[in-house]
Structure 1
Amino acid sequence: MEKLNEKKGNGIALLPFLIFVFVYLISGIILQAQGVKMAFYQFPAPVAAGIGIIFSFILTKGSLDEKFDIFIKGCGDDNIIIMCIIYLLAGAFSTVSNAMGGVESAVNLGLTLIPAKFITVGIFIIAAFISISTGTSVGTILAIGPIAVQLVEKAGLNLPLVLGALVGGAMFGDNLSIISDTTIAATRTQGVSMKDKFRVNIGFALPAALVTILLLFMFGKPITVPESQEYVFNIVKVIPYIFVLIAAIAGINVFVVLTGGIIISGVIGFSYGSFKGLEFVQQIYSGFTGMFDIFLLSLLTGGLANMVSNGGGLDWLLHKINKKIKGKKSAQLGISALVSLTDAATANNTVSIIVSGQLSKEISRTHDVDPRKTASLLDTFSCIMQGLIPYGAQLLIAGSFTNGSVSPVQIVPYVWYCFILAVFAILSIVTPFGNGYLRRNS
């Protein structure tokens, strides 16, 4: 049988996938030029995928029934279905725990514990904890951003620096959280456990975070120390986040972890009067519906990818890429560049992982790259790029809190964590640094 990297495939079959990305990119550029807010998020990604699917049906050979069969098999792939169910549970946990006051308590607990003179470092650490607990960088920035701006005004701090620390901390958690949609997409496309991906990822993400904290400690000191304030929190309401984090790292099945987190949040919510009657189940359903876009996109791109692969599109692209790849290191660099460029085009780190996941899996399989490392690189470099593009949701939202006084472009140079993470991630590719877990468990 012909080896995978010897198949020349059919480049025309790749066209529907390129149309999907092109429509998504061009719509964002046009809307951005027209001054539309959050321009890259106005054209729904599932609709762009639908346009690509239509072209795929036109180009794929065979009867209409045969084409539908190929498409549906891609949508119903085991990894796609598992990924979608995890999305639903993650959305439910995040919504329920937030509704019972978990995010507010976690933020206020952090502000209480961290001295006012270390407020810049504190913003980074609090954002990292909230994001890794809730799995959402955007939600973290929305929760902490207004507080951060107020503290900056009182302390005479550099506003872009503090917002850069906020975005950096949010991306740290987004990258590592087991309930983040980026982690779910990266692990399912590569067929690895979240526990293993976390342990590989933290080998270079934690050193990057520590260096960032050191730099923020040195250069983020306030001119005047803000007066101490009393922040109201309830430590009990933080328990669901701690449970989910510890249970996931311990390797407990992710379905059990998330279901347990939802139940614990519900019990706490009822105990403190946050939920009454059917409000708990309504919040669960709200969490489900909040994940509809990414749920639908995963199904559609699964079907699209199967049609493109069946037509020889992925084989053609893999054949071209393999000519440039000389070994494991260049394969990992290629995967990192692929997901980074895709994120720059789509302004969505989860979409970029879903789009490039199958091809990255084939590259890593061909060049004997550990799939756990591939998953961590996909998640890491998508988050790095997402934290640095000024038209991404994270920087757009951070800049919106300043009423126009600071633009997203001005914040980019201060997202130190993303720059430092890129350096440490590349080091983990070209040197043994940060690969201790893989060496011990190869």
Structure 2
Amino acid sequence: MGQARLPSLLEVMSVLVVFLAIVFSFTIYELPIQLALFISLFVVIGLGLMVGYTYDDLQAAMIKGISNGLEAVLILLAVGALVGTWIAGGVVPTLIYFGLEFINPSIFLLATLVICSVTALATGTSWGTVGTAGIAMMGIGEGLGMPLPMVAGAILSGAYFGDKLSPLSDSTVLTASMSKVNVIQHVKSMLYLDVPAFIITGILFTIAGFMYGGGEADLDKVNSIMGSLTDVFNINGLMLLPAVVVIGLLVMKKPSIPTISFGALLGIVWAIGFQGMGLADAISTAYSGFNITTDIDFINDLLAGGGISGMLGSIVVIIFGLGFGGLLEKIGVLQVIMDAFIHKIQSAGSLTSSTLLVGFFSNVFGCAMYVSLILTPKIMERSYDSLGYRRDTLSRNTEVGGTMTSSMVPWSDNGIYMAATLGISTFSYLPFMWMSFVSIIIALIYGYTGKFMWKNQDTRETV
């Protein structure tokens, strides 16, 4: 067989239209998105065969794409185990109890934004933040009568803000590495965008908090929830020790997977030692999750979840999505799209908007944030170099287009994880991802005004 060629733009667009049609039809009819991605794999394989690749080449590309994201799969398994055992061990119920007792409804959304920001900044993981502090804030928000999609928006806004400014974050390190800049220089560049975006987002959530929580909370409901928690669980400050230990270890730059897994082990110990569970039942919560029956449906729904088994559907999506992204990279699909209009990129504005679009569509078609963070710098670096812009502007725009939009795509790894963990559909929380929307707007303003778009000859400090 001769050498493989790049597909034509018409071939690429035809395949992507078929992919979107499959995904949206499965979404409309509420069919498993996993099957849509599985079918779409063969659509892209068909294109690869058509342009001259062998099946073995394409299979190797799929396996490579999957292997690049296996760390995310292992983290997801560990977080599932941690959530299940932390509910059983009383960690999550205690966080909810104290939150209901001390957090004023008017400032709850702002407090959620700040708490999740600090947690993610300290730990370097948006997933870990959502799986711990995020779940607790959802419970508190429900108890205070706050709109849960808005609470989820505050959680995600804080989690991604902290994650993007943390040198401990694997996605931050990956973006800097792919853009060929030092990670600290990348974080410095992000400060110019993320800090004003965070301030604006904080103001928006403060206003929303006074609008939705300005009245008196339903104290009867709050007291009923707190009473049910104390009836079922041993609630005291000692229950928070596993959370303190895990966050402390992550701050000390210990590896995420063993740290989160150790946190799950502590949850088992706490379930046996403080909540009176049997050994076998406590251990099983790491895999099967926790279930509870009380007179309050909210408590039953909130505290029935977690476990590795609860994450298996998300893992299937991530595996198929990573394989899909590996195929797209191998065949050169996004490269063909960029080549079609890359000659039109002649200014900082068009450069910025193009980077954001590539990052977003890499999430849409690559189904994984890692795919976006790998492909976007590869595709856009020539344009930045030819126009003389520094690579830290590339890395900053890659984060905005790739990371900040990753949870907006229901079939992406981040979209699946966040929806499954928070119990809110992607389209429900999407309108409230204010940090992401504000970041996109500020990035475009910088691009079209030339503000903080540093040229290679610009030797001034960026902070």
TM-score by length of 1: 0.67
Q: Which amino acid aligns with 2:103?
A: I
Secondary structure of 2:29's match?
coil
Q: Distance in 2 between matches of 1:217 and 1:337?
A: 30
Q: Any residues of structure 2 matched to 1:207-356 within 5 Å, and which?
A: 207-221=196-210, 222-226=213-217, 227=219, 232=235, 234-243=239-248, 245-247=250-252, 252=253, 256-273=254-271, 276=279, 279=284, 289=312, 290-306=314-330, 308-309=331-332, 316-327=336-347, 330-341=350-361, 343=363, 350-351=367-368, 354=371
Which residue, 9, 21, 25 being the options, matches 1:26? 21
Q: Any residues of structure 2 matched to 1:391-430 within 5 Å, and which?
A: 415-427=433-445, 429=447, 430=450
Change (3 A) 1:296 1:386: closer
| Alpha-carbon distance, 1:57 to partner | 1.4
Aligned to 2:152: 166
Change (3 A) 1:16 1:144: farther
Change (3 A) 1:163 1:419: same
Q: Distance in 2 between matches of 1:90 and 1:195?
A: 24
Q: Which amino acid aligns with 2:20?
A: L
Q: Which amino acid aligns with 2:76?
A: G
| Alpha-carbon distance, 1:400 to partner | 8.6
Q: Distance in 2 between matches of 1:357 and 1:59?
A: 23
| Alpha-carbon distance, 1:27 to partner | 2.3
1:363 partnered with 2:380: yes
User: Which string of whole-angstrom CA distances, capped at 9 and with x for unpartnered residues, describes residues 156-211 of structure 1?
Assistant: x7x4xx63353243244146548999769857865778777666545523432232
Q: Any residues of structure 2 matched to 1:77-116 within 5 Å, and which?
A: 77=64, 80=65, 83-101=68-86, 103-108=92-97, 110-116=99-105
Which residue, 401, 405, 415 being the options, matches 1:381? 401
Is the Cα contact below 8 Å between 1:92 and 1:287 reproduced in 2?
A: no
Is the Cα contact below 8 Å between 2:174 and 2:373 reproduced in 1?
A: no
| Alpha-carbon distance, 1:21 to partner | 3.4
Is the Cα contact below 8 Å between 1:75 and 1:302 reproduced in 2?
A: yes
| Alpha-carbon distance, 1:220 to partner | 2.5
Structure 2 residue runs without a partner (length 5+): 230-234, 273-277, 289-306
Q: Distance in 1 between matches of 2:112 and 2:383?
A: 42
Aligned to 1:54: 46
Change (3 A) 1:141 1:301: same
Q: Which amino acid aligns with 1:74?
A: A
Number of aligned residues: 396
Q: Distance in 1 between matches of 2:141 and 2:174?
A: 31
Change (3 A) 1:115 1:105: same
Q: Distance in 1 between matches of 2:42 and 2:129?
A: 27
Is the Cα contact below 8 Å between 1:121 and 1:217 reproduced in 2?
A: yes
Is the Cα contact below 8 Å between 1:109 and 1:235 reproduced in 2?
A: no
Which of structures 1 and 2 has the larger relative contact order (alpha carbons within 8 angstroms, sep 6+)?
Answer: 1
1:71 partnered with 2:58: yes
Structure 1 residue runs without a partner (length 5+): 1-8
User: Which string of whole-angstrom CA distances, capped at 9 and with x for unpartnered residues, describes residues 221-240 of structure 1?
Assistant: 23423247557462212125
Is the Cα contact below 8 Å between 1:93 and 1:258 reproduced in 2?
A: no
Q: Distance in 1 between matches of 2:83 and 2:216?
A: 30
Change (3 A) 1:414 1:54: closer
Q: Distance in 2 between matches of 1:106 and 1:83?
A: 35
Is the Cα contact below 8 Å between 1:120 and 1:220 reproduced in 2?
A: yes
Is the Cα contact below 8 Å between 2:117 and 2:161 reproduced in 1?
A: no
| Alpha-carbon distance, 1:265 to partner | 0.8
Q: Distance in 2 between matches of 1:396 and 1:36?
A: 18
Change (3 A) 1:181 1:333: same
Is the Cα contact below 8 Å between 2:112 and 2:158 reproduced in 1?
A: no
TM-score by length of 2: 0.65
Change (3 A) 1:95 1:121: same
Change (3 A) 1:384 1:125: same
Change (3 A) 1:399 1:266: closer
User: Which string of whole-angstrom CA distances, capped at 9 and with x for unpartnered residues, describes residues 66-121 of structure 1?
Assistant: x52x33553465xx476323213321331232123155555555555533342232
